[in-house]
Amino acid sequence: MRTNGFAALGVHVALLAWASACEPEPLAALPEIDVEPKEIVFGQVAAGRSRAVELTIRNLSPVAILELSALELLGDAETFSFGTPPNTLGPSESVVLAVRHTADDGKGDASELSIRSNASNTPEVRVALRSDSTAPLIELAPRELNLGDTASGNAVVGALTIASVGLAPLEIRRISIRTEGFFGEACSRDSDCREGRCTSSRTGLICAQACQGSCPAGYLCSLGLDGFRACREDEGTSPPRAARGFSIPAFSPTNLLPEEELRLEVSYRPAAADRGSVQLLVDSNDPSRPTAIVPLKGRPENQPPQAIANISSQPNPLEPGGVVTLDGRASFDPEGSRLEHTWRFVHRPPSSRASFDQVRGSTTSFSIDLPGRYTVELSVRDDTGLVSTNEARVQLDAGAGTSFRVELEWDRVDTDLDLHLVRPRAPEGSVGDCFFDNPAPDWGPVGPVGDPRLTWSSEVSESILLSEPEAGVFTVLVRVADPSPQGPTNTRVRFFLGTVEAAVLDVVLSASTESWDVATLNWPSGAFAPLGTLH
């Protein structure tokens, strides 16, 4: 069957028309908002005066209604206002509102106008509102004056510039110096103060030092409204012009026109005791900063000394019997004070009795008595009693050396004891056991190195010496060959690393005791572990 082409085309056009009717409405069918301008700058408005600027709100939709749900001022809203808008804007309709700023003090203000609606493009529009200051405005340069690189008794002069950068004359009413901490910085609570407490003063709440009657020149010991007796400025006297070596010339109130400047010289001649910083206070009619503060930095407060510990000499290798010499003479005090040195052990091997030949001295030494780690710390104190806060430590790790010796002693001639040194992994009584019946066994690969030797110098002592021991755990035993019929036998075993006595163990052997398992010795660490078992 054939289809007429025009008839088919008509059906296609009809289908397109039906499909178009089913599509969503275009965006223009929904309300859209536009606000002009996006920011309103009122410029400079004198105190008590007002200025209005027009704000236009438009509904961009040609078919939908724009509902204005809320207009609200945010931030510093007290000096801004606007006219009453309609609740709705019809299609393509607009409204012009007068937004007004009324200056209350000549200072700059800022706010935002929030416009909320049912607009599809944005539910809220914010318009920034701003005015510029017409009040007096002070600027000081530099913001901090550092004159601290000055030796005691010498003088240096610095300069500050006080500038009027506002649109009204700047009245400089008073210039003074106060000591930080004594009359400290602004505070809101006692915990803000490094010294004294937070109390009222002419310039507001500041940290003040308690007083009993005497105060620096320009201050009176007075009782505040909070009941706190502190040094407060004496309004009836000239402002304080000197402290801690700083001084400024006498000053009379003066006015600066906009863009005018005043140069103020600051002298610094510190005495030996003058340290630390002070504050320069400039009182003016700047409403935003009635008291401007510039820190004057002098010679720094007493700083803690710095401890520096060095090893000036040490044996090689580090082993028992070696002497280590320590040197703390590189330590220094920032103010040049004489120092007192103190040495201490932070860590020593367990049972170590190592000690310094002098605990207080710029140099000292100690002898290594046991293998293991030695950590020594140096602290220094200046002549004011201030102690170093930095960590000054040296650390050494000592080995056990190249030989050890075990000595056995007892107090009864009629007692017969045998000392045994059993090599690692060997059973007692084997060739790996050095004792009376095996006094010179061959343990080493070739020659006498690594072979023990048993010797005795009396009827109540025995000794075993081993040079270049193999690695492993050696066991020391005492066997009773013949007990004394007279009573218990006091017995002692001493261990030596090289020539240094490392440990001493004592025990009483009764007539019924057959053996004493004394200790183990780990090589090459030299770690010693008593056993203390009697059989």
pLDDT (tens digit, 9 = 90+) per residue, 275-317? 778 889 999 998 888 889 999 988 877 788 999 999 999 999 9
Each domain of the chain, given as residue ranges in start order, spans: 28-132, 138-297, 310-398, 403-534
- Going by C-alpha positions, the residue among 489, 477, 475 that lies closest to residue 416 is 489
- Over residues 429-461, the pLDDT tens digits come to 999 999 999 999 999 765 567 899 999 878 999
| pLDDT at 478 (0 to 100) | 98
Domains 310-398 and 403-534 share a fold: no
- Over residues 377-393, the pLDDT tens digits come to 999 999 888 899 999 99
- Over residues 156-169, the pLDDT tens digits come to 999 999 999 888 89
| pLDDT at 239 (0 to 100) | 74
Q: What percent of the chain has pLDDT over 70?
A: 88
- Over residues 20-61, the pLDDT tens digits come to 444 444 545 899 999 999 999 988 787 778 889 999 999 999
Q: What is the DSSP string of 107-159?
A: S--EEEEEEEE--SS-SEEEEEEEEE--S--EEEESSSEE-----TT--EEEE
C-alpha pair distances (Å), 154 with each of 74, 243, 246, 270, 332: 57, 16, 12, 7, 24
| pLDDT at 180 (0 to 100) | 57
d(CA 412, CA 511): 12
Q: Which long-range contacts (CB under 8 A, 24 or more apart) does 8-15 make?
A: none
Residue 489 CA, chain-centre distance (Å), reads 62
Higher-scoring residue by pLDDT: 203, 17: 203
Q: Are 501 and 463 in contact (CB under 8 A)?
A: no
Q: How many CA atoms lie within 13 A of 131 on its CB side?
A: 30
Assign a CATH topology to domain 310-398: Immunoglobulin-like (2.60.40)
Assign a CATH topology to domain 403-534: Lipoxygenase-1 (2.60.60)
Higher-scoring residue by pLDDT: 149, 290: 290
Q: Which CATH architecture has domain 28-132?
A: Sandwich (2.60)
Question: pTM surpassing 0.85?
Answer: no
- Going by C-alpha positions, the residue among 109, 76, 142 that lies closest to residue 292 is 142
Pick the CATH number of 138-297 from 3.40.50.2300, 3.40.47.10, 2.60.40.10, 2.40.30.10: 2.60.40.10
For range 334-347, the mean pLDDT: 93
- Going by C-alpha positions, the residue among 464, 309, 450 that lies closest to residue 392 is 309
Average pLDDT of the chain is: 87
d(CA 411, CA 455): 18
| pLDDT at 459 (0 to 100) | 92
- Over residues 64-80, the pLDDT tens digits come to 999 999 999 998 788 89
